[in-house]
Amino acid sequence: MAKSYSREPKKEEPVAPVLKVSYANGEVAESADPVFLKSNAACKLSVGVRSVVAVPTGMLVEVPEGYEFKVVPLDPKIEADSALGTIDSGYHEEVVVRVGNSGDFPYEILPGNPVASGFLSPLAAVKDSPAVEVPPAVVEPEVTPEVTVTPEM
């Protein structure tokens, strides 16, 4: 008697999302790994203590639909973000990183220095829900106590 074997279909491996990066010098790269965001400034930038500087990167990122590109600092004393810290598939401008210095000494950024790293992350799924009517807020009038001023003599 012949034995019969049943095969389960192979599950397809999930494909890692790929970030397409275009640089100011004309280079184009694709990466599924985190990327460095480097200064593309024409000169040295100084970030004073407790101040913030916008650092151009010369990078354009093409984020796949359903993902976001998150920007994180490389140094705990340096705060880096890209406005809101995330870039979605609808953004088509140069990535500019705001670098803040929370340290005790000025910080210098030379052209080509990495200022942050970025990586792709899936966007959280948002379920459609019916619209909910919100009643207008009831605002109580502000009551101010009556004050009388008597001139000094």
pLDDT computed for residue 110 by the predictor: 93
Work out the pLDDT band at 83, boundaries 50, 70, 90: very low
For 27-64, how does the pLDDT look when each residue is reduced to its tens digit (9 = 90+)?
A: 999 988 999 999 999 999 998 888 889 999 999 999 99
Alpha-carbon distance of 119 to 151, in angstroms, equals 67
With pLDDT > 70 as the criterion, what percentage of the chain qualifies?
A: 68
Max intra-chain CA distance, the chain: 121
Residue reference for tokens 């340290």: 103
Alpha-carbon distance of 114 to 34, in angstroms, equals 13
Contact yes or no for 83/135 (Cβ under 8 A): no
Contact yes or no for 131/56 (Cβ under 8 A): no
Q: Is the pLDDT of residue 16 over 70?
A: yes
Question: Quick count: other Cβ atoms within 10 Å of Cβ 53?
Answer: 18
Contact yes or no for 96/52 (Cβ under 8 A): no
pLDDT, mean over the chain = 79
Domain residue ranges in the chain: 19-122
Task: Write the CATH number of the domain with boundaries 19-122.
Answer: 2.70.40.10
71 burial level (CB within 10 Å; 0-12, 13-18, 19+): buried
